[in-house]
Chain A
């Protein structure tokens, strides 16, 4: 099949970016979206042009490296309407009609500066995790599996929240460039588990403080984040974060030293 592409080209962070048109022949429906970009890059390289820079790693939908805005939707899936939520690498060209025009842009948010073309610097998400998205334990012999008990509902919820791969689609989809769904997934994950309790109160304050300091926008309960999340992190995670944040105001261990 033949595809028309409009791709965001930007040489570096300082330069102004723009959309450039390409036409690509010989695309197979079985190709993944990234393989289609590989094909384009082969042709561009042969012609002596700069290939399109994009991020990718595992190409099986679990690492969170790839991610571009395709026709106005991060990862290009149709969100809640589509039964299978997808990362860009798991999106296949059979989802597009022959001869269609596809617009590809990078994640755009103040906290995600564009490095080149479709690659953005998502390390702001790492800074948010460093601010409190962990538990402090002394290493040693592993405890018995049944030594710490937890009910099924809470462990299921923790597991579901822990599936976040940190791809940043929530930030890209949010009209405010907010990272609340990302942060709240980690808050919910650790808040449900016994191991997360000792630092629970301070964690939420520090992570929210860090995400504000990094220049992410605020949450206005629009829900675009949850609609595009490839892992289906639900919008109610954000309310879990808010509950913990409000509770931290009334707790002694919520005060930073």
Chain B
């Protein structure tokens, strides 16, 4: 879970960085989106690399969910099922809201990712924004975020991802053995919050700027 989680965090940061190209210009964004489909050409033909990349990501997602299901089951059994103590106090600074709700933020993220892929990759036409419009792929983004419903959905989804990462990032390092002292733990947790915040704001800046017409 730790290794696949960190791979997905790196992907998210890269995805976010790519999205921000829309702040430069529509042409830059479209050029970048086109480039993603031709990486490693001509060593590999067409979008071969893209499909390899998608397979690796899918494998990470599947393994991440599989190990999450396993540990969730083990933990539910381990505490002896529902209804444990009549009073339970939390004393640990690491027992955060994010840590307690990992499974729920995870489920929100899965649902969101399915919608997100349908909207921008699998069936954009069904969402009323085909990718071969006059503005190309950037056009899809402008159509989507002109609609306040999608703004709301994306804010909720990004909040879930931010929470998930804010515990998951440091927890992954601890599981891999990097939590070597109290000070290290503080640094790891601070980095975790930072990565969560960067993802939250980094992904939401373009939609909001589009919605309020700052870029068009």
Q: Footprint of B on A, CB under 8 Å?
A: 6, 19, 69, 71-73, 78-81, 103, 105, 108-111, 173-178, 212, 215-224, 226-228, 234-236, 238-240, 242-243, 246
Contacts and interface: CB of A to CB of B under 8 A. Distances in A.
A248 B194 CA distance: 33
B74 A218 contact: yes
B53 to A, nearest CB: 26
A216 B177 contact: no
Nearest to A103: B87
Interface of B: 71, 74-81, 84-95, 99-100, 102, 167, 170-171, 174-182, 184-185
B181 to A, nearest CB: 6
Given A108-B79, A239-B174, A242-B174, A224 B90 contact: yes
Contact of A236 (B102, B176, B184): B184
B179 A235 contact: yes
A109 B80 contact: yes
Contacts of B170: 221
23 contacts: A69-B88, A71-B87, A105-B85, A108-B85, A109-B78, A109-B79, A110-B77, A173-B91, A175-B95, A177-B78, A177-B80, A217-B79, A218-B74, A221-B171, A221-B179, A222-B94, A222-B95, A223-B94, A227-B92, A236-B179, A238-B174, A238-B179, A246-B176
A217 B78 contact: yes
Given A215-B77, A215-B78, A235-B179, A222 B89 contact: no
A167 B146 CA distance: 59
A108 B90 contact: no
B84 A108 contact: yes
B174 A176 contact: no
Residue of A69, A81, A220, A238 with most partner-chain B CB within 10 A? A220
Given A108-B80, A217-B79, A224 B92 contact: yes
A178 B71 CA distance: 11
Given A108-B85, A212-B74, 8 more contacts: A73-B89, A73-B91, A218-B74, A220-B75, A221-B94, A221-B174, A236-B181, A242-B175
A228 to B, nearest CB: 6
Contacts of B182: 234, 236
Contacts of A217: 74-79
Contacts of A239: 174, 177-180
* Smallest CB-CB A-B distances: 9 pairs: A217-B78, A243-B177, A79-B91, A223-B92, A176-B75, A223-B94, A177-B78, A72-B87, A72-B89
A178 B72 CA distance: 12
A218 B179 contact: no
A246 to B, nearest CB: 6
A224 B91 contact: yes
Given A110-B77, A177-B80, A223 B95 contact: yes
Instruction: Name the residue among A80, A234, A239, A242 with the largest chain B CB count within 10 angstroms.
Output: A239
A236 B79 CA distance: 22
A215 B76 CA distance: 10
Contacts of B95: 175, 222-224
Contacts of B102: 220
A79 B89 CA distance: 10
